Chain A
C-alpha cells in the first residue's frame, strides 16, 4: 500500500472540508448536489454553481464566486489616476476600452475638464469596437455552450479584425489603456478609418453567417425559447442591465438615455428590445446590437471632426475633492464608477459597479425548476465575464 502520512491525510481532509462547506449549507436530506465549477467549461472562468438537483431538474442553486477576486477597490486606493486607468481595463477584459471610459469621465467630471470633440468621437468608436470584440465572442460562445462548435471559431476569426484595428490604434489588443483624463493618448494612425470600415463589413458578414448558422437553427430555438424567462420588472429589481434588460422588454440604454458626452447622440441608431425575456431574446438582442454597433462606427468614422485629441490638462493630475458617479452602457451592461476624491493624486475610494455582478445575481431566482442543460443555456445567455463579477 502507498504510505500516506497523517499530514497528507489532514491536508486532504481540510481540502475536502473547505470544498464541502458550501455544499453542506444547501444540502438537505433529499436530492443530489451538483457542483459546477470553478473549473467547469460552461462557467468560462471560475464561477462556481452549486445546484441541488432532483434528477436532472434544478431545485435551487447558488453561485459561488471570488475565485478571481483581485480586490480592485482596494488596489485603486494605492494608485494614481493614470495607474488606475490601466488597472480597470482588466475588469471586463473582452471589452476593455469600455471600462476605461466611465472612470475617465468620472474623473473629468470632478476636474471639470471636457475632452475635445475629436477625442469624444474616437472614444465612442473605440467603445463600440470593444462592444463588438466582446459581444461577437458571446455570439460564438453561447453556441459553443449549446454544443455547436463552429460558431465559436467564426467568432474568434472575425473578432480578430476588430482586435487588429484596436491594436493598430491603441497599441494594445486587449488592454488599450488609451483613454486619458482630458482626451486620448494619441490620434489615429493613417489609413485606420478605411481599414476599420473594412473590418465592419466583415463583422456584418459574420452576423449574417451567425444568423444562418445558429440563430435560425431549429434546435437552437428549441433549446433557448422559453428558457430562463426574466420579466422586466424583476430584472430591474436585481439590477440587470444591458442587453439582458433590453431582452426583457425594458427600453433602457444608457447610450441614449443618459448621455455622458460621447458621440452617440450625433449618429442615427436604434435601441433593440425584445419582449420575451428568454435566452433566445437575449441572443437575438445581442446579435442586433452587434449589427447596430457596426453601423454606429461607420457613421462616426464618416463624420469624425478634426482637431486635437487632448484638452489642456496639468501634467500631474490631482483631482479636486468631491464625488462623482458616471456609468456607461458597456458591452455587458451598466458599468459605473463612484469616484470619491479628496484632492490627492489618487482617489480616496472608488466603487466599481460592474455589469456582470448584477446580471448574475438573478441566477438563483431564474434557475429554479430548470434542467441541467438549461443551466448552461441560461448562464451562457446572461453572458458574464468573470473579471466583471469578481473585480
Chain B
C-alpha cells in the first residue's frame, strides 16, 4: 500500500519534526482559546483584540517579543543548569507527544507500554523545575522548585492509580489498543457509543483530572508558581526565550495531557459509528481527538479560572488522604467487576 518507503532516519526525522511542531501549535491553541479568550470572557472582558481577528496572533506576537529579549542570567545563578532547565521541561513535553495516537496509523511511537511511558516521562519535568528553582539563586525560585517537586511527586501516584482502572478494563498498556477497546466495547450490550471509559471509570476520570491539574500546576494546585505568594516560583528569574520555553512547556504539556485524558477516557481518536480501523479515521481521527482535547482542556482551564489555590499542606493532604484512597478503591472495584463480568 505504501508507495513511498522511507528509511528509518527519514521516518524519525519526520516524526520528530511533526512532534516538535505540535508543541508550540498546541500551546498556541490552548493559550489563545482558553488563557486569552475563555478566561477573558469568564471575567467579563474581551481579552486581546488587536493582533489579528480577536487577537489570534497575540501569542505569536508575544513569542516574537520574548525571542527578542535579552537572555539574562542572575548574578549568582548556576549558569549551565539555569540555561538548561527550560529545555528539560520541554523535553518531557516532547516525549509525551510521542505516544499519543491521533489515528489508527498516526502515532509517532506505538509502544506496547505507551501509557506507562507517558506517565514516566511526564515526571521528568520535575527535574527541570527543580533545576530551574535551584539554579536561579533566588529564595522564591527555590521555594517554588521544592513545592513543585513535592507536589508533582505526590500527584504522580493518583495519576498512575487512576490510569490503572482504565488499563484493567482495556487489558492493555498500549494507547492505540485502549482506544480500540473503547471504540469496540459495549456497556451492557449497548454498543452504539462504544464504551468510552469515562462512563465506567468516572471516578478514575475525575481523579485523573484532579491529578492532571496538579501535574500542570494549574490553579487550584498552582503553588509552585503562585504569583501572589512566591511571585512565579521557579520562573521568577527567567526572561526571553527561556521563559517562552517554560510557557510552551506548560501549555504544551496541558495539550498533551488533555490528549492522554481524551485517549484514556473519551475514546481517543475514535468516532462512534465509524469503524476504528478504516482508513478514513486517519483523517477523521485527529479532528475527533482535537475536539475531545479541547473539551478536556476546557474543563482544566475552567477549574483554573474559578478556584482559589490550596495551601501546600492541604494539597498534600488532598492527594494522600482523598485522591489516593479513592483511586485505590476504584481499582479494587474495577478489578472485581472485571472478574465478575
Contact = CB atoms under 8 A, between A and B. Distances in A.
Interface of A: 32, 34-35, 40-42, 56, 143-150, 153-154, 157, 213-214, 217, 219-220, 222-223, 371-376
A373 B96 CA distance: 32
A149 B43 contact: yes
B42 interface: yes
Nearest to B221: A147
B228 A143 contact: no
A153 B40 CA distance: 9
Contacts of A148: 219, 306-309
B312 A147 contact: no
Interface size range on B against A: 20 to 34
Contact of A376 (B219, B222, B229): B229
B90 interface: no
A147 B311 contact: no
B311 A223 contact: yes
Contacts of A214: 308
Contacts of A220: 308
A157 B44 contact: yes
Given A34-B139, A149-B43, A157-B44, A219 B307 contact: yes
7 contacts: A34-B139, A41-B228, A41-B231, A149-B305, A157-B43, A373-B311, A373-B312
Interface in B280-334: 305-314
Given A40-B231, A150-B305, A154-B44, A371 B310 contact: no
Contacts of B308: 143, 146-148, 214, 217, 219-220, 223
A147 B305 contact: no
Contacts, number: 80
A146 B312 CA distance: 12
A371 B315 CA distance: 13
Closest 6 interchain pairs by CB? Answer: A147-B309, A153-B43, A146-B308, A148-B308, A145-B228, A373-B311
A372 B143 CA distance: 10
Contact of B143 (A56, A143, A154, A157): A56
Nearest to A34: B139
A222 B313 CA distance: 11
B220 interface: yes
B232 to A, nearest CB: 9
B43 A154 contact: yes
B22 interface: no
B307 A376 contact: no
Contact of B306 (A41, A150, A222): A150
A218 to B, nearest CB: 9
A147 B228 contact: yes
Contacts of A149: 39, 43, 219, 305
Given A147-B219, A148-B309, A220-B308, 5 more contacts: A56-B143, A147-B308, A150-B42, A217-B308, A222-B314
